[in-house]
A and B are shown apart, each in its own frame.
Chain A
């Protein structure tokens, strides 16, 4: 019998707003970055978070790690609410929760050697370790991410983007975390290097039994690495399902539109494909549309979509969707293609 998956993280009714200047004498405006965020992360899975710029995907990653404090809601780590944890307690928890950033060179201190950068989290989180123990761990971690031992005394500027990202991964890995938030970890890298880093993350995940949150705007990359995928639009969950469900049977019109917009590296398929290009661009999160925030770009929208915000419904198998009309617009593939011209 299969064991029931353990929920490592449970996000409940998360909300995050920012105050933005409205102009010289104007009152500050409120930007709702995240609202009504509810989902769980299972032990050992890779959860992909996708969406366009400004959808709140990075903010969500930072709220989970308490690098940003949510306005409302809970972030339950094995049942314990991180948002209410005293600072000292939270510092201890950080061993378990780490992050990798997009721009590898910008996230490394240029004045520190590679060895010091990778050892840094240990100094704060594992003060009981002595110098030799720290160094041994650094070397072991460097080996795991494919860095040579002789690189330990070199400085970040001597490294290419791909190698710098390996340093960033080593720094996250050294505290033996249970969960790593990867925020666009390969977006700044060349294609051939991107593939190396994606494979490395997959190997490390297997080797150390990691749980990953993989944030990216690139759906092909997310599809490649994720077990389940969360789709965000203007700070709200529109859909959450397994990778196969999302790609074979997307329920939300936004997910569908995103999928058809992804370029396919296959000329014959690309020529056959009808692109259901979304009209317009994402509305401002300062003044989002009423009701369903996607309705202004949705070709299935009806007048009532402007009146009420769609609830986040839980479907069979635990997948989530937030759309008033997902049942009606569910169409077989051939109709779907004909409909999209």
Chain B
């Protein structure tokens, strides 16, 4: 029996707006196994980031989460800040697309890193700085002693991203949540980062949640994936199953929208139309206005996320074949 390090049950996130309520995430369920990488894929507004910000207690003021996010026997949803602070950074850590927003611009890198160890693991200052510098070296920062003395603005984007990863890994968390960690980076630096993730998973046995819109990144790193649309998971399964045999029209559409460097197609086969506004989700299946396979039932009834065997789940009524060129 594989150990589950994180169990998400019926997680929902709503935002209170001026005169309405917006459901950013609805009824999310998944289990994260020890040492696995789960990719959460979706476009802007799909709820992929908000779900994990809610677990980390980082929702905006007007946001509210319900459901359960079990880290061992602690429910992270609605946990008071004091208790959450003892877990964040130690057992579960999160890194973001823009490292500048997560690093304190007025503190030297070594101070920020050492603080984590002093707080969570009771290190003395000297020992904490020593470990911090070792971790900087571990994540591939050249001249770590010099870089440790730098302020964040003195480092390049790739370097800052490494500092943030180093900070997240200092306490060897069981779970690392990475929200678009390579989106702002150049391809050569992105490749270095993905390499780093792979080796860290091997060395520390960390479970990684990779939130991204880039299917190329998913293919190279993840074991399983969850595709989100309009605040809900629409398909879940192994990366190979979803890439080679997608069962949800949206997953298929995403795959056909992604240019492949080794295959030059005359035209891409994109999904028609625009992603829905969360304030005005279509009736029935949220994807139905853009779906080439939608039929009567899809317009009136919302398909539940159901098991379809082989550890896979999908939320779609359509059971027929889906061929390339049929999406549009």
A residues neighboring B (CB under 8 Å): 52-53, 160, 162-163, 190-196, 198-199, 202, 217-221, 223-224, 243, 247, 257-271, 275, 277-278, 280-282
Query: Given A191-B257, A217-B187, do A224 and B265 touch, yes or no (CB 8 Å)?
Result: yes
In the complex, identify which listed stretch (B90-98, B191-199, B291-299) lies at the interface while the others stay far away: B191-199
Report B-chain residues with C-beta under 8 Å of the C-beta of A223.
259, 261, 264
By the criterion CB–CB under 8 Å, are A277 and B192 in contact? yes
A270 and B219 contact, Cβ closer than 8 Å, known pairs A192-B43, A199-B268, A264-B262: yes
Chain A to chain B: the 6 pairs with minimum beta-carbon distance, closest first: A263-B216, A195-B270, A195-B257, A261-B191, A190-B43, A52-B186
B322 lies within 8 A of chain A by Cβ:
no
- CA A257 to CA B187, docked complex, whole Å: 10
- Per a CB cutoff under 8 Å, which of B188, B217, B240, B244 touches A257? B188
Q: Mark B254-286, 1 if CB is under 8 A from A, else 0.
A: 111111111011111111101100000000000
A219 to B264 CA separation, bound complex (whole angstroms): 12
- Asked, given contacts A277-B192, A281-B189, whether A202 binds B262 with beta carbons under 8 Å apart, the answer is no
Q: A190-B213, A199-B268, A265-B243 are in contact. Are A219 and B261 (CB under 8 A)?
A: yes
Are A195 and B269 within 8 A (Cβ)? Answer: yes
CA distance A222 to B267 in the complex (A): 13
Contact flag A275-B189 (CB < 8 Å), given A220-B216, A263-B217: no
Identify which of residues 121-171 in chain B touch chain A, using a CB-to-CB cut-off of 8 Å.
Answer: 142, 156, 158-159
B188-220 interface bits toward A, Cβ cutoff 8 Å, 1 = contact, 0 = none: 111110110000000000000000011111111
Q: Please, which residue of chain A has its CB at the minimum distance from the CB of B186?
A: A52
Nearest A residue to B215 via CB reads A265
Contact flag A198-B259 (CB < 8 Å), given A191-B215, A266-B219, A267-B219: yes
Contact among B142, B253, B256, B268 with A280 in the assembled complex (CB-CB below 8 Å) = B142
**Contact A192 B275, CB 8 Å, known A53-B186, A262-B216:** yes
Nearest neighbor of A275 in chain B, beta-carbon distance: B191
Q: Are B239 and A267 in contact (CB under 8 A)?
A: yes
Using a CB-CB cutoff of 8 Å, which residues 91-124 of chain B contact chain A? none
Whether the pair A196, B270 counts as a contact (CB closer than 8 A) is: yes
CA gap between A244 and B43 in the complex, in Å: 31
Q: Which of A190, A199, A202, A262 contacts B187 (CB 8 A)?
A: A262
Chain B proximity of A198: nearest CB distance (Å): 6
Query: Do A260 and B267 touch across chains, with their CB atoms under 8 A apart?
Result: no
Known A191-B254, A269-B262; contact A264-B220, beta-carbon cutoff 8 A: yes
Query: For residue B182, which residue of chain A has the nearest CB?
Result: A263
Answer yes or no: B44 CB below 8 A from chain A CBs: yes
CA distance A195 to B187 in the complex (A): 20
Say how far B143's CB is from chain A's closest CB, in angstroms. 11
Across the interface, do B261 and A243 meet the contact criterion of CB distance under 8 Å? Answer: no
What is the CB-to-nearest-CB distance from B322 to chain A, in angstroms, rounded to a whole number?
16
New A-B pairs, 5, CB < 8 Å, besides A265-B255, A267-B244, A277-B188: A52-B188, A53-B186, A258-B187, A277-B195, A281-B159
Residues of A within 8 A of B275 (CB): 160, 190, 192-193
Residues of A close to B265: CB separation below 8 A: 224
How far does the Cβ of A341 sit from chain B's closest Cβ, in whole Å? 12
User: Would you give the shortest CB distance from B89 to chain A, in whole angstroms?
Assistant: 27
**Max chain B C-beta neighbours (<10 A), residue from A220, A263, A281, A282:** A263
Contact, CB under 8 Å: A194 / B257? yes
Interfacial chain A residues near B271, Cβ < 8 Å: 192, 195
Within 8 A of A (CB), among B213-240: 213-220, 239-240
Q: In the bound complex, how far is the Cα of B220 from the Cα of A198, in angstroms?
A: 24
Q: Is the CB of B259 within 8 A of A266?
A: no
Query: When the two chains form their complex, are residues B243 and A266 in contact, meaning their CB atoms are under 8 A apart?
Result: yes
Contact check, B187 vs A191: say whether CB atoms are below 8 A apart. Answer: no
Residues of chain B within 8 A (CB-CB) of A264 are: 216, 219-220, 260-262
In the bound complex, residues from chain A placing their C-beta under 8 Å from that of B268 are 195, 198-199, 224
Chain B hits for A262, CB < 8 A: 187, 216, 261
Say which residue of B218, B262, B270 sits within 8 Å of A192 (CB atoms).
B270
- Contact A281-B258, Cβ < 8 Å, known A219-B187, A258-B187: no
Residues of B within 8 A of A267 (CB): 219-220, 239-240, 243-244
Query: How near does chain A come to B214, taking the closest CB pair, in angstroms?
Result: 7
Interface residues in B59-94 (C-beta closer than 8 Å to A): none
Q: Which residues of B contact A192 (CB under 8 A)?
A: 43, 253-254, 257, 270-271, 275
**For the complex, what is the distance from the CA of A269 to the CA of B156, rounded to whole Å?**
31
The smallest beta-carbon distance between B216 and chain A, in angstroms, is: 3
A277 to B195, CA, bound (A): 9
Asked if B191 contacts A277 (CB within 8 A), the reply is: yes
B261:A199 contact, CB within 8 angstroms: no
A160 to B273, CA, bound (A): 11
A99–B24 Cα gap in the complex (Å)?
36
Closest to B156 in A: A281
In the complex, chain A residues whose CB is within 8 Å of the CB of B218: 265
What's the least CB distance linking A66 to chain B, in Å?
A: 28
Question: Chain B nearest CB: distance from A193 CB in Å?
Answer: 7
Assembly CA distance A280 to B262 (angstroms):
26
Q: Which of A218, A258, A265 has the most CB of B within 10 A?
A: A265
Chain A residues with CB under 8 Å of B261's CB are 219-220, 223, 247, 259, 262, 264
